[in-house]
Structure 1
């Protein structure tokens, strides 16, 4: 998709809602007549576009999409600052946390605009027009609004637990000062909405902006994702993890809709895993491929390649600067099979220095390698930072396959159907000549029991989606958050001890040099060696960097500090922002969760 098309979805319907002093209580409606706005496809399209606008605020593009989704066993950051994001990483954010307020505000603004669109389109004569194309487009727009509303409620629930559930458009006489609703009631409702509308939506290859707008395959994938959230575990206000008695009904829905999508709109996974993300760096958005929906950032907007991706230092080059807020712990890197092609796409061992040279990161600085501003075909300029225009993936087809494998296994055990879905994902990860052992034999072995197959799904989702910042939500619904964090911390300590004492097989030091193209070469990524082949290689510290100072058990501070609050159960739920509490006039309060 060309760059001009990337601007399509950001047309703002400024005539929909006037300014408001509270996201929960819009001050006034537009003077435009809703009957006119939703009487035709063109204006209804603009109304639905207004829902997408919230993706282009920092509350999503640099916070919710990636910055707020650590720490996990595969993505990490932290620090001792008292800044808003550091509070969130440490799980001790206060009600006045600005980042949480920002997410709450844009979520309810998007929900407000979705409710306006849903009500307007539902009451429009055009929805049932005798012109089949008009009716089809209006029904699809209605599906987009329902899907986007469901996404924002899903995120609010993950971050705040029970929240106000608003489904009406703002108008006179409607009370928007609502109390909290049970999160499972909300999830059940939005799942039902999508089930009722998805068959009236259009596939990505039938809509104007392809995967840069919500489409039927993404809506079906969201039914599965929301159902696994609804059927999964959640933290209660009394600080226990729980799940509802009817959870298997939602695994059944996830199974049904992943199977339906596979039956109706199957597609082969692209063989080149790297190219899936390189397409995003090159502004290419193929339909009927892996990515089902990606948030479209126009050039000059978006933070991919600024706060997530391979670090680029400002200097003597035209690419500007960008960092990486969510690093990858070496325990995750070394969990991969050495032949897994996803490993070195996901985990970058280099950054770009001020002279535009690749330089080795320290062991705590492995970055997400799927995106970087230095992959852009047109350098954005030496003084640029934000605004790369690189899109953000919201769901991939490999996710559908793995959700299907998970749901099928939960209901029926590791059936042939579940095994084949897992195999399809692993076939892309390994050279074809390795499929007999790395795919068929591996899947056969993990299929010995329902539990071992589930464990394999937990691992596979880590390897497949590293850096895409979905792990937090998986760990929550599996009730594995504290267990996986503990495994990570203990694994890092063992790596540090092995490096200090010279035991183990992993490299305490690595040997590096640059090839004729200036690319960084690393001689011994996976094993300890006594010396390099010749004196052209330079020795650099690697796992020895996990030890702070020259004494055993004195681990680098981030190992002992940044996950310190991730105890059983992990308090991943945050307080409702003070602004919302104050505006509610006593209806809302922060209770439970040891607040």
Structure 2
């Protein structure tokens, strides 16, 4: 009997273990993978939000990815002479560590948008839901590739999510810049047709990609390729309201404050939580998944004054400062854009009264206050090297806190495209197609009137070259100084491939390492150096990082890796560089 009992106990245990094993085969619903996620509308909506999260990384638009192009321009220089130095001097080797970050984080965007696009066709969706989800993914992928190809020239064009699963296709090779731009044009054209306008989208459209955002970036892409007639058609449609209602804000400063975000002028901006409203985890990439993340950006930490707590890495050029000072508003004021672009002390700021513009707030003593501190001189960008600190996309002029908290904390949304860019691009296209016309002048004057500058007159511009000079080296830098995009402008205009133009931007970029916030109009004799005097051919693009090349056997270096002159290829396409014109 004892043996029978033993046998029964063993059988019971075996049966129990077998039943337990069956239970353990149940899939944990909290351990989803890309294979079992994205099969419903709600999950795709979550995935799209995750795509937006990727444009808020350090290498996309939360710091380095945004400021790398600003320092490539001629109106921003590296005041720390440490970080960004190779990007500023346009001579970085393949081991330049910062060249990795935009590449890495922009491909995060590509990866997530490709995932959404791989799933969306297989989910039962209404037409509106399908268009919104797919349209946003197409726009965000295009945004990433626009940055990638204007930063790195020849990059892998990856549009098939399934390709990551095969070792033979996972390691993608370089595509030509034209192939990448072709894909961007195709994706943005589709997104324009799929996405609602800001008017139609209502509250949903606040902070999201709309058909207007897609149209604006399509125009940018076309102009990069000198397709001026096609770009002009898109720009005129934006102006006519085909893609939503856009207008300049009455106050230029509304484009750089927390409480006036997603306004009438904004075609697209990157969303950051207002200062102090996020969590406490300061997540640097590639993590950025904490529900307690600060959800701010660190552009302020690069742009603001080291005297007032920032890192003091970047400064505005004396050339840009003097450009603002050469032309006052019709009522005698300084151009308000100086106030919002550069952190300078100007005695005039304290004398304006009764003016309803935040640039000079009703005689408020804050006119001469930076981060709630009264100043009597321009604060230094960098304590050791000097320089003029930058106000845009910081809270220098907003007075919401006393001192700068470095890192991912600033809550001012990064406006990537504004309606003023549409107007000035329309003026440029009109001038390229028809020469100087009153229509081109009218577009420019609409932007100038916002800051009460005197209207330009057609009779002052006898040639298309002269009007181009005004647009390229007066109107655009004063409107967009220290914003992302100036370096891309220099690329598309071919300024790196013409000796006179390269000499011109070298003069624009003069700086002094004298420990002061120098505002002199500098010359070769009085300047310490210019960023562009160190320029190596091919380094108008950033090098592909060596570790990235090592990891991918199918990837080759670009012109910066090879020190290769891109001038001949530029001219072989039939592009031209307009000659320098003296406007004085």
TM-score bracket relative to the smaller structure: 0.7 to 0.9
- Partner deviation per Cα, 1:165-192 (whole Å, 9 max, x = no partner): 1110135447121211111111012112
Distance 1:490 1:91 in 2: 15
Give 3-state SS (helix, strand or coil) of 1:180's partner: coil
Give 3-state SS (helix, strand or coil) of 1:564's partner: helix
The answer to whether residue 556 in structure 2 is matched with residue 585 in structure 1 is no
Q: Which runs of 5+ in 2 are unaligned?
A: 1-28, 279-293, 330-334, 346-367, 565-584
The 5 Å alignment of 1:456-535 reads 456-458=470-472, 459-481=474-496, 483=500, 486-487=503-504, 489-490=506-507
Give 3-state SS (helix, strand or coil) of 1:360's partner: coil
The residue number in structure 2 matching 1:44 is 44
Distance 1:312 1:399 in 2: 31
The residue number in structure 2 matching 1:311 is 305
Distance 2:299 2:509 in 1: 27
1:308–1:575 CA distance, 2 compared to 1 (3 A): closer
The answer to whether residue 563 in structure 2 is matched with residue 574 in structure 1 is no
The answer to whether residue 261 in structure 2 is matched with residue 285 in structure 1 is yes
TM-score after normalising by structure 2: 0.72
The answer to whether residue 176 in structure 2 is matched with residue 161 in structure 1 is no
The residue number in structure 2 matching 1:271 is 250
The residue number in structure 2 matching 1:96 is 95
Distance 1:276 1:456 in 2: 23
Deviation at 1:201, TM superposition (A): 0.7
| Paired residues, number | 470
Distance 1:393 1:324 in 2: 22
Distance 1:542 1:576 in 2: 35
**Alignment check: 8 A CA contact 2:391 2:397 kept:** no
**Alignment check: 8 A CA contact 2:72 2:487 kept:** yes
The residue number in structure 2 matching 1:445 is 459
The residue number in structure 1 matching 2:224 is 229
- Partner deviation per Cα, 1:176-212 (whole Å, 9 max, x = no partner): 2121111111101211221123122112241545442
The 5 Å alignment of 1:160-559 reads 160-170=152-162, 172-173=165-166, 175-205=169-199, 206-231=201-226, 250-263=227-240, 264=242, 265-277=244-256, 280=257, 282-287=258-263, 289-298=264-273, 299=278, 300-304=294-298, 306-311=300-305, 313=307, 321-336=309-324, 337-339=327-329, 340-350=335-345, 356-361=373-378, 365-375=387-397, 378-379=400-401, 385-430=407-452, 438-439=454-455, 442-458=456-472, 459-481=474-496, 483=500, 486-487=503-504, 489-490=506-507, 555-557=526-528
Distance 2:439 2:31 in 1: 48
Deviation at 1:347, TM superposition (A): 2.4
**Alignment check: 8 A CA contact 1:161 1:573 kept:** yes
Deviation at 1:379, TM superposition (A): 3.3
Work out which of the two has the higher radius of gyration on C-alpha atoms and give 1 or 2.
2
Give 3-state SS (helix, strand or coil) of 2:392's partner: coil
Asked which structure has the greater RCO (Cα within 8 Å, sep 6+), the reply is: 2
Give 3-state SS (helix, strand or coil) of 1:395's partner: strand
**What is the RMSD of the two structures over their aligned residues, measured on CA atoms?**
3.3
